[in-house]
A and B are shown apart, each in its own frame.
Chain A
Amino acid sequence: MNGSVIFKYANPTQFMSLSKAMLPWLLVLTVASFGIGLYGGLWVAPPDYQQGETVRIMFVHVPASWMAMAAYSFMALASLVGMVWKHPLADVAAKSAAPIGACFTFLALVTGSLWGKPMWGAWWVWDARLTSMLVLFFLYLGYIAIWQTIEEPIKAGRVAAILAMVGFVNIPIIKFSVDWWNTLHQPASILRADGPAIYISILWPLLVMILSFTLLFSVLLLVAMRSEVIRRRIRSIRMAKIEGFG
């Protein structure tokens, strides 16, 4: 990776002006995408021949699950960049992604459970896919707890980065759990070697909803990162003020 490209946007002031310009456009795109996705998912898509109307839960469950894993992958990558290249915004990005990813994981677990009860007859089973998703939720909580308990940001960033990178091993486990173990959870339906196993009238709203969740993640991440950059500026002004008195 080219170091100069990484550091080009390392300046928090440049990030603040760039994110300020991007946010309104991203917000409009997110709302429009949700509008199309929800229309397709709730009105256009037909009931599934096996699941009936319950298939509509998939339009929120699948995007939430994908974003839960994508947010964690992003967090692990940002942590790696922060550790290796000491990019000043990498820690900010990783820290900001954690609560958003935790919310998506929570939603994936809850909506999965709400789908499981009418389809499997159980709210929860200790299935490999479900259990590894629960582990992901605990990893997010652990990561957030580290930032909350260690006051010094550089030290907190390092400890949290190690957890994020070590915890990344759980992502392929979640993805391939349905292939490696005999699970109640169905195998992959979209990312398959022989193409998606879903009929187009259900697939397109699902893909639009995945795009909507991705756009929402981008918006929320930028907002959270802006807060964190300002928080750090407040901290540095306060430190300078204390040193000035000393």
Chain B
Amino acid sequence: MDFIRKWVQALFFILTNGYWNFPLSKGIYKGPLKIVCSPGLNCYSCPAATTYCPLGSLQQLLAGIRMSLENGQFFVGFYVVGTMGVIGGFVGRMVCGWACPFGLFQELLYKIPSPKFGIWSPLRSIKYLLLLFMVILLPLFAIDEFGFGSTWFCKYVCPAGTLEAGLPMLVLQPGLRESIGLLFFNKLFVLVLFIIWAVLASRPFCRTACPLGAFYALFSKIKLVKLRLDPARCTHCQACHTVCPMGVRFNESPDDMECISCLACSKACMFDAISLEVGGLSIARQPRPSGCQLKNPT
């Protein structure tokens, strides 16, 4: 299953970054596909990006909401939030495990041989604060003298934007190098920090700082496609604890907001206790190995 997941991740990477003419055009894709939402974190100022980033779009809409309303245009984020909500309602954070280019990038970094560490679980809550303050409240209320807000998360934090857009644009358009300053070095520092952290710990950005993941996490209990635990089959062997890239203890918390439905736990479970369900109906079940005993057979 992990093999299939890697192919799906690669497919989404190519679909959301399918504009390969950028070395010649020296700019970004400007075609109609940019009306389509990227399910994962993928900066739309990336030269290869063919879709829009929901976080970037939402911040820009909120930052310019006063101007829109003054002009009689109700661009308040209904389309963007609606799209994000539909994706969240279908698969929630499965996007992080299957369709996010920055998630794939972190997974590849984690394969670099090094000492590996866990992540202190209270740090998980930072991403919800970033979603609330840097994606919603600050763009909406921290305005300049002209009534415009700013894209706070993109501007000061987003390492995906630095990696996918900031650095490539500096290569493509050397004239921009004169414009870089403290802001860019701050963002470069954040990117380097998360790259080093991703070598040492599994998916640190997803677990601590991704507001998109935080939004999708709100759907963990009600999403259509999710993992299901069969308590009767669970022997509490903790095999699911050790393989989870997000540090979820699945048998203790089956609806954990951190679960990205990568199915690593399902594969590791020798007792067939974890399966995939769609809207309440179980659709995938691995055959139980011969000789395995159920703890509480019914």
Task: Tell whether A pairs with B.
Answer: no
Interface residues of B (CB under 8 A from A): none
Interface residues of A (CB under 8 A from B): none
